Chain A
């Protein structure tokens, strides 16, 4: 890690990626390898893992013990939640959302995917494209992860064969036409031996598209946020009421889309009043512009009534203002979705109630087929649903904006988050 210069580190970009996989895929080995070869595992962590491995009677140091954090997981030898891992290379800082891969953990995979810019899909070179590949890829496409990296793992077990790799690449290219994935890259690796993870493999001279780490460092993430449609959900109104800032009234929030600049005309939803941005405050400084995902405070030229849950947009670019929404939901609770049931909904900074009108179809995540007859939506199910809200929401299709197109569904009796939705 001595390759870090103090200055260089300040200019790094942040890439969030997700991995899904089960014990057999070598996912934990891969993450362990990325962390280990990037020197992000410390001696005391390694010592702790060594001690635990020996106590369990394992022959090798079990790198999975690094990521499987909770006692129950260590006892059962499985990953049951989303674990966040961090490492940095001289080029970038990375956040890994590490999730289990089995179908009963679909909700965890969806959770990990919700904040990711990239997804690593692991394919066992011996098995090729499977049901599990399909499931993981569908979730990546459903949650609109912009970049997918297909890692063909265990190349050592197929004699590092180019033919095997090409066939899998071909099969996946064909299969992914059914999905909506903007960008797919392929890397042949052996996580166990470290081929093409951080160091270039000498066993596969036929491959020259970069190691996994190089691919992760090279992904262009500049345009992953919507910079076209200006959306500013008001989060908190700042009123100091002090002598120095007696008349200050600032609208604090995080830009959810587009670009805002001082002098821009804005339209306030739902009141439909118009005003002009007088300044964009960043603590004691003024910013020339604000774009997603910046947290800023806007001041306006007019004194109008605006509160949390309102949204500032531009008069010539208005989101959908509606009480009737068609959404894809992923159900996250043991208690099934109730048709005609009432739930609380959170969308940007706005909270409303809704009634579930209709379940249109469910999706079989293993083969992408629509299930039209059986409309019971239980834990881990993904379905197209219509809801009606008590007050209008200001939405964009999730495809266009991952912030204004997303909502969560809350059971009002338990206050638990029971489902999540993406606006169609």
Chain B
């Protein structure tokens, strides 16, 4: 299957004269957000009939449910209904159906939903929930992924062998292995035999929480006519509709009967992709037909029962020659994917395909193993597994350079993957600006220039790392858009990508504006309602600018075609002479003539006999990457084309480290990302500044801490510390590299997730540069560094 490598001439021609694309235009949702007008799911009103549900969840990481007594709760005044797992014996899941709406015979993580109380107000629901008695028989929890991998009894999912899943997953029945992605390329033994040095080490990454400031919330209404409507804070309205319609199909629901409405989302970061607690609102609505029912997660529930970033133990064995050539890479990754992996297994899969990093390696052996544990379900988190493995891989690359006595930037440049090089799974690498990104990052941190702190207690350290990431999605994930003109020539675009803060609405408006010459201020892009807006797979994987952008561009081109055809038909002008400018149709053939779009895009063009030609202009566009395929040899991973393209990036940092306290001050953080074509440089810089801080926090102080029974010890912002305005780097330098993506809208590719991926390795390598310390487990807290330095001082 050929990859679309060469840019169509049309793209190149346009790239030279872009007017709106590439401009730092003001966000079209800006005013709504600074005035408080923007409505989020929790802000919607449902009148006095609204019911509220409170979820009773498991206090145990692993237990058998012996019985549930709901009688006392049912008697409380104001309680409408109490439901348990037996009311909803339905399975669901995105890539693998391993979950139930409510726990059935057993619970598999602390926080798992066991029962719900529906009442007329939230306080009554919560009080009554305290009266529901659940009788548990505690079982031994499995918390460590490496131990769980080896375990063959007391499994998290004894019935794993019977679960349905996508064809590119390979679960191992009678084990805790839910998926095992293998890549075999070249001859690994030969590669290590050719090496002058072989370096082995292992790295450990804990779990992390997304911490969008808006908690998950969902309101469900199953009306008297049996139509189900959900209002959710979600990145995935269509995927939610699909998963819910499938899960509740036994109730006779068709997809057309399920409607998902998603207003603004208060931060996603992957945490609001797929379906988590929203399934509860759907199910509970069916239990109280005719009345809307609302569920809102508390902050503690956010930490316990949504998707979490997966934990990882990865083992790396790298062979290098004295001249710096990488000869072989063996990378084994044990993922703590949690109690249900219906989404997480695809994180594991995506990493399996790409965990060589952006390097040309001829001999590769990758085992990316998705292991069930008795912790909260893993799932998508900005970076989709790449942040996790790059901590180890990029630490390891710097170690290798050190071992060789080679400059680590030079080592990376030497091995950096180039266009048309063979990827780990056999396809070819797309055009990219990786070397430019590395060079610009090195220049920005003044690589090679020795710096010393004025404070004798402190040391300066620098680093440069590089990485890549591809969108992780099914090969046939698609996008679509409708574009409608209004009487005044303004435009409404209907698409189902989500505005999760990244600026999706504005980017789509800019793309349509570029094609149709209508100013961005005259374009609205609507948030999704599956009854109204056409299909979008999900807003994840940093792929909507590329995928939905293509759909919007096609819709705009479709509208443009209709406009030009109409002008040809009504006014008899040669089509090839026509073009759009300043929201008018103009013609090379008739200088000075122009026809404003507003004059005819709804009512048509009046012709000589006073009749009208035309009618409302409505564009339609769809996009599906027709070259992509996920099917390959299960033992080698060779043969498919699972990734549509890679975005390549370099990052660097300058830190000042206090050797007594272990505290790190980030003086400078740099990220150079090859976005193909910047649609909106202001929003790209915003992504870099924000994502960089989110990444730095994961390495400096954040992490989820569990006790030996699998209970989360820090389910609040008091002890899960996310950065404040006082914790920002002194300087963030965003660098935009533009090597066009041939099949991207105007050459664009995604970059939202990439902004946080390098942070851990950047800091780890800079700490090493400053102190000589190598710490192989995240986070690198001040405490860990200070105590390690103290130990080192004692030892020396």
A binds B: no
Binding site for A on B (CB under 8 A): none
